[in-house]
Structure 1
Amino acid sequence: MLLSRPTWSGLSTLQRTCWLRAMVQRTFPVAPLAWTRFHSHNTWNEAGGPRRRRLVGVAVVAGAGLGIGTILAYGDLHQKAAKAETPESASDPQFPTFTRQEVARHHSEASRVWVTYGSDVFDITDFIEQHPGGKSKILLAAGGALEPFWALYAMHNQEHVLEILQGFKVGQLSPEEPPQPTPGDPYADDPPRHPALQTNTLKPFNAEPPPELISENYLTPNQLFFKRNHLPVPNVDPATYRLHVGGPRGRTLSLSLQDLKKFPKHEVTAALQCAGNRRAEMNSLKNTNRLGWNIGAISNARWGGARLRDVLMQAGYKQDDEGHVCFEGLDKDQSGTVYGASIPFKKAMCLEGDVLLAYEMNGEELPRDHGFPLRVLVPGIVGARNVKWLARITVSPEESPSHWQQKDYKGFSPGVTWDTVDFSKAPAIQDMPVQSAITEPSPQTTISPGELTVKGYAWSGGGRRIIRVDVSLDGGKSWREAELTGERQLPGRAWAWQLWQLNVSVPAGTRELNVVCKAVDTSYNEQPDTVGPIWNILGVLNNAWHRVHLLVAED
């Protein structure tokens, strides 16, 4: 039996270890197997790509009499057998075969997490704690196929993800196993999008307008407003739609769209910004393997709807109550898990906080991509808390238990890694830091000497108004103040962005310009000059000086 197994010299250390573990557990299925890891970690190259995972362990089989000496002898036997094999077979390593039933039974009986993808079998036990999407999400596929879940979270279909997965391969599905049915496309009913949008991922759809269109309008046209979706876009019938609001002492409101429109209507001009805006600059320093947003994950609109405060008061809450207001959307994955988030109760009840249950966007009903028929609009805070396709509101002493509140959208030190991260020690992002970016001209553009107009946007969280945008043409050695444009905003309620521009003269003989911008808000918060000190594993909160290099043509 041993000599018919794979070519030992052709396997990596991890593959050898996992193969041995698989063989021992198949040979002694009644014996519980415990593994002590002497050395297990991921290392990353300077560009952020994964190097080969190393795992060294000792197998102890209770009651089976198989000790470390047997394991080492097992390996030596395979090494000797490999010498007798041809070079061709040594360069084409084989793996043991399993049925889908064995994969499922292995997971339930051996407390290891096995999954399949295509015709391959993987033991991902040592990866689940590092899964960026959270442990609970990856465990949904335990003992089964990844395809139905990767159809939902299509961002997994990237080369670096497949490379990581291959490092955990332990076997192949039996040739007698029927192929896994191709799952239906959960995104087939997504709405059409404007062709000018620059797409980061198709499924779920995440896209931003090109930089040169961002500052063309103070109010971003609905079709060009950046799209940030985590799951398929639900198709909601407004006639049957209901918002469920949990009140104190078990009371519950069930409100139709028409019920909500009976509340006094309020309008607020507010920008929304994704926490990952400008992540591409962080990725260029050290890859976070997350959506590579450029500068367009921010847009500005006029929102209309009922105040959240009014609805909560009708549900029975009082101004001085405390806790967190938790939101759940109608977008959900195959397990029924819905998108969720929360904000502090005091923010929701503050009259000057301008938190809306919005059903209008720029004078029109909400587009499907932006939450039709109803979304939360929480001015001044990170976009992730502005839950779309709103289904349920509850008030709790604790924050939302949602993955996106507890295990995402948090900031960490540059020194924190996926091996050391503790999400419980970092608060969920609410207010955002001061931000600005250059929208025109585009990087690496060749301009001519003479008049040049530099344009951009600036915004700060928490209702802090932008008081100044400084622009440099020489990389930060000297500065000029840009002209700000936009609506007048009330103190502490500056929810909208400000567009800015600077007209300068480029002298003849200039060969290049290193254009830089930085904004200052009413608290005199300023942007840091470089990305390095604020880099983090989630690639969020990048508000370093924005830089654009321009070439100047000869006369």
Structure 2
Amino acid sequence: MWHKREMVVHESDPYNAEPPRNRLLAPLTDADSFYVRNHGPVPELSPDTWSVAVTGLVSEPVTLSLGQLQARFAQHTVLATMQCAGNRRSGFLPVRDIPGEDPWGPGATSTARWTGVRLGDVLRAAGVHDAARHVEFAAPEVSQLADPPQPYGGSVPLGKALADEVLLAWGMNGAPLPPVHGGPVRVVVPGYVGARSVKWVRRITVRADPSENYFQATAYRVLAPEEDPDAAGPGDGISLGPVALNCDILSPEPDERVGTGPVLVRGYAHAGDDRRVARVDVSGDGGRTWCRADLDAAPSPWAWQHWRATVELAGPGPHTLLARAWDSTGACQPESAAALWNPKGYVNNSWARVPVNPAAAAD
């Protein structure tokens, strides 16, 4: 098993797991608790023999070893949250089933301190052509989800690829990047869904158009509710990029016994891309009244923010705790998961809901 600590394992092959809620209460997520999303087996790659090829619409195609990356380019560290596009998918299941997809809870998001070189520095050294608009990443991880099976890949717009926060990372929280998290080297694209932070990257291709890889052209796209995901083709639906505004409750746990009266509620919020969390509201009475949460300062422009609020639970339960976030554009999370349901279960950013039972607290 890849993780030393207890994880909520959704699949063993390929390995996909998230931490329990309480593991996300710290500003930084340790590697053993960081969520894992894989589409195929974890490849065995040696840092000594790993290399990445930079090709496509560049003046000087180049292949770089890990040692050459570290010697030629300045090292940078970015503290950033990574969030799976399927985070909180389990909240869709009461609306309608989503066959074939892992029922991720709120733990498919984690935050780490990533160390590497700026992808933009590497691309500028290679000489990006004027016709370039997108940057594609390819991994050796062969996935059976594609038909026919193919290595995992995806792309981001050139403007994002050149941004200072985007890294080719070999370090995680001050240690070498573990293989299950993409070591020896992965792409880290802060503010975008985790699907675009390609692990074990072996090829970077500068292109005029988005990647034609299955996981860019067909998967990781939001389909209309009536569409059949098995019949979806390249270009159908909305391609996922920047993370949507989201938050969830980490404590108390669902169905936890709590006392009547004041109850401390804690959680995380994350705005994604270049937006910021501006406010979090919490309710203990089903949304009839709200109180404003105390919001921690963001540890970086690309990281989540933790929050806490004390709500009054009056009378016998059960009760449902609610939380909703607002971002720096003035947007608020949508109330209902039913309004967001889609056949692949992506981007559930509806209000957080956690049932608790104060009536049993005196036992």
Aligned to 2:154: 341
Letter in 2 for 1:348: A
SS in 1 for 2:202: strand
What is the one-letter code of the residue matched to 2:334? P
Q: Residue 252 of structure 1 corresponds to which residue in structure 2? A: 61
Is 1:237 paired with 2:46? yes
Residues 391 and 450 of structure 1: is their aligned pair in 2 closer, same or farther, counting only changes over 3 Å? same
Matching residue's letter, 1:209: P
Tell which has more relative contact order, 1 or 2 (C-alpha 8 A, sep 6+). Answer: 2
Structure 2 match to 1:213: 23
* Greater mean alpha carbon deviation, residues 196-205 or residues 245-254: 245-254
Partner in structure 2 of residue 543 of structure 1: 349
- Percent of residue pairs bearing the same amino acid type: 38
In the TM superposition, what is the alpha-carbon distance from 1:545 to its structure 2 partner?
0.7
What amino acid is the match of 1:499? H
Q: What is the correspondence of 1:99-178 to structure 2 with a 5 Å cutoff?
A: none
CA drift of 1:488 comes to 5.0
Which whole-Å CA distance do the structure 1 matches of 2:349 and 2:243 have between them? 10
**In the alignment, what sits opposite 2:304?**
497
1:532 match: secondary structure? coil
Given residue 326 of structure 1, which amino acid in structure 2 is its aligned partner? E
1:352-501 superposed matches below 5 A = 354-418=165-229, 421=232, 423-487=234-298, 489=300, 494-501=301-308
Provide the rounded CA distance (Å) in 2 between the counterparts of 1:194 and 1:293.
20
CA RMSD of aligned residues (A): 1.9
What is the DSSP-based 3-state SS (H/G/I as helix, E as strand, rest coil) of the residue aligned with 1:223?
coil
The answer on whether the counterparts of 1:309 and 1:350 sit within 8 Å (CA) in structure 2 is yes
What is the SS of the residue equivalent to 1:424?
coil
Gaps of 5+ in 2: none
Question: Partners in 2 of 1:305 and 1:330 — Cα distance?
Answer: 20
Maintained 8 Å contact 2:82/2:194: yes
Name 2:85's counterpart in structure 1.
275
Contact 2:2 2:180 in 1 (8 A): no
Specify the code of the residue in structure 1 equivalent to 2:158.
F
Other-structure match for 2:9 = 199
Amino acid at match of 1:227: V
- The one-letter amino acid of 2:34's match is F
In 1, the alpha carbon distance for the partners of 2:4 and 2:307 equals 26
Equivalents in 1 of 2:263, 2:306: separation in Å? 17
Contact 2:221/2:236, CA 8 A, preserved across alignment: no
Secondary structure at the residue paired with 1:285?
coil
Per-residue displacement from partner, 1:210-241 (whole Å, max 9, x unpaired)?
112221x1000111000001010011111111
Consecutive unaligned residues of structure 1, counting only runs of 5 or more, are 1-190
Paired amino acid for 1:524:
G
Q: CA contact under 8 A between 2:27 and 2:299: conserved in structure 1? A: no
2:44 and 2:305 map into 1 onto residues whose CA distance is: 34
Shift of 1:503: 2.2
TM-fit CA distance, 1:510: 3.7
**What is residue 36 of structure 1 aligned with on the other side?**
none
Q: Which residue does the alignment assign to 2:125?
A: 314
Q: CA deviation at 1:379?
A: 0.7
Q: Judging changes above 3 Å, is the alpha-carbon distance between structure 1 residues 280 and 347 closer, same or farther for their aligned structure 2 residues?
A: same
User: Which of the pair has more CA radius of gyration?
Assistant: 1
Residue 224 of structure 1 aligns with an amino acid whose one-letter code is: S
8 Å CA contact 2:57, 2:132 repeated in 1: no
Amino acid at match of 2:120: R
Pairs aligned (count): 356
> Is contact 1:248–1:315 with CA below 8 Å preserved after alignment?
no
Measured at CA, do residues 542 and 265 of structure 1 come closer, stay the same or move farther in structure 2, by a change above 3 Å?
A: same
- Give the TM-score normalised by structure 2: 0.93
TM score, norm. by length of structure 1: 0.61
**Where does 1:17-32 land on structure 2 (aligned, <5 Å)?**
none
CA distance in structure 2 between the aligned counterparts of 1:321 and 1:497, rounded to whole angstroms: 35
Task: Report the equivalent of 1:266.
Answer: 76
SS at match of 1:280: helix
C-alpha separation in 2, matches of 1:309 and 1:299: 24
Does the Cα contact within 8 Å between 2:6 and 2:19 map onto a contact in 1? yes
Higher-helix-fraction structure? 1
Distance 1:372 1:422, change over 3 A: closer
CA distance in 1, matches of 2:348, 2:57: 39
- Given that residues 247 and 316 in structure 1 are in contact (C-alpha distance below 8 angstroms), is that contact kept between their aligned partners in structure 2? no
* C-alpha contact 2:57 2:131 (8 A) present in aligned 1: no
Alpha-carbon contact 1:321-1:345 (below 8 Å) kept:
no
More strand by share: 2
1:513 Cα shift? 2.2
Distance 2:124 2:206 in 1: 12
